[in-house]
Amino acid sequence: MTLDLTLACHDYQWTKPLWDGRVEPEGVNLTAVNYPNPVRFSRMVRNLEFDACEMSMGTYLASRRDADRFPFTAIPVFPFRKFRHAYMYRRSDAGIESPADLAGRRVGIVNWQTTTGIWQRGTLAEHHGLDLTDVTWVNGGAEIIDVDVPDEYDVEYLDHQGNTIGLLEDRIAEGDIDAIFHPVDSDVDNAERLFDDAKAVEQEYYRETGIFPIMHAIVLKDSLLAENPWVVQKLYDAFERAKEIGLSVLDRPRELPLVWADVYRDEQREVMGEDPWEYGLTADNVTAVETLVGYAHDQGIAAERYDVEDLFALETLDTPYYA
């Protein structure tokens, strides 16, 4: 018997083989669909529209405070990661020379629970000495799951229903805010990156911590897990095979639309090894998740400092890293 299963996930290079049929999970008839962030997250959170869904880790951690209301559980497949130093922007005329200069300033954020913001705030606090309670956080968007921001944080909520990123960019262009912490590149004339050489800062961060920040995980409906626990292993294996196919293009640099593709590939491997996108509860992945959970708890998003093993459906999963 074949199980019909709907997966909502972006068609990254390392997940595309699940879309085009090059990889088919054993025993599963997979239908892959795509919706932009945060629409995908919201549709899963509010309506459980998909059997499996690529989910923001910030939203997932917020959901763990009420598992009955949000009946889905993650598996240790992390389809999206991103260093976030390069996505912090300062207003060029604000007199901000270092992260410490953000104290006393107004910083725009998409919303409080977005994984990007959790990593950015936590990293600045832990590694750059910024006291997060000294910043006015200007929140431009709605939360997917309501969270109780601790009283010590100063959060100002903008009344806006449209394009949150556009709103924040307008505010920094007008001089109303001093910086914006984005999930995407910013293209505002008077905004520049907080870190002048963000790539060097991110590489040094990785060398010091071993963390390639995890942004998203795959979650499965709890009803699916209860009725078909075997599907965890089949999906994990399929994601792993798809990733291997996707990353194999790095050994064919002529297929990449980059002028110095082989140079960039070699630089990435020198800093981060052969597979920085690894799945499973590897040592580095456990460190990344534990760090994110700590930041999320400090910022009022996670109700507690969850043990990593309690966040993932592992009972029927066997990998080289976790058994």
- Which of 151, 182, 209 corresponds to the end of one domain? 209
Query: In the predicted model, what is the mean pLDDT of residues 104-131?
Result: 97
Q: Report the pLDDT averaged over residues 173-197.
A: 93
pLDDT at 160 over 90: no
Where is pLDDT greater, at 189 or 239? 239
- Give the integer Cα–Cα distance in Å for 245 and 282: 20
* 204 & 92 share domain: yes
- 74, 217: one domain: yes
Domain boundary among 186, 209, 232: 209
More reliable by pLDDT, 205 or 38:
205
Does 317 map to a domain? no
Do 106 and 187 share a structural domain? yes
Mean pLDDT over residues 148-176, rounded?
Answer: 90
Which helix (H) or strand (E) segment holds residue 235: the answer is helix 231-247
The CATH number assigned to the domain holding 204 equals 3.40.190.10
* 273 token code pair: 């090894």
Same-domain check for residues 289 and 148: no
Cα–Cα distances (Å) from 129 to 44, 122, 197, in that order, read: 36, 10, 19
Domain span including residue 144: 85-209
Residues 201 and 246 grouped into a single domain: no
* Average confidence (pLDDT) over 91-95: 96
Number of domains into which the chain is organized: 2
Q: Is the pLDDT assigned to residue 1 strictly greater than 80?
A: no
The answer to the question of residue 320 being in a domain is no
184 & 229 share domain: no
Name the pLDDT band for 161 (thresholds 50, 70, 90).
low
pLDDT at 3 over 70: yes
Q: What is the pLDDT of residue 322?
A: 65
β-bridge partners, 179: 90, 107
Token digits of residue 295: 């930041």
Percentage of residues in the chain having pLDDT higher than 90: 90
Q: Give domain status of residue 73, yes or no.
A: yes
If you average pLDDT over every residue of the chain, what do you get? 95
Structure tokens at 59: 């939203």
pLDDT-derived band at 99 (thresholds 50, 70, 90) equals very high
Same domain, 200 and 89: yes
Are residue 293 and residue 153 in the same domain, yes or no? no
Question: What pLDDT, in 10s, does the model give residues 226-236?
Answer: 999 999 999 99
**How much is the pLDDT for 319?**
87
- pLDDT at residue 171, as a whole number: 93
Same domain, 78 and 222: yes
Q: Residue range 206-216: average pLDDT?
A: 98
Residue 31 main-chain phi, psi, to 5 deg? -115, 115
The answer to the question of residue 323 being in a domain is no
Is residue 124 domain-resident?
Answer: yes
Question: What is the model's pLDDT at position 21?
Answer: 95
The average pLDDT across 39-65 equals 97
Q: Is the pLDDT of residue 183 over 70?
A: yes
Q: Are residues 161 and 89 in the same domain?
A: yes
CB 105 within 8 A of CB 136: yes
In a domain, 319, yes or no: no
Residue 307 lies in a domain: yes
- Residue 38, preceding peptide bond in cis (omega within 30° of 0): yes
The torsion defined by the Cα of 88, 180, 56 and 16, in degrees rounded to 10, comes to -60
Tell which of 180, 209, 238 closes a domain. 209
321 found inside a domain = no
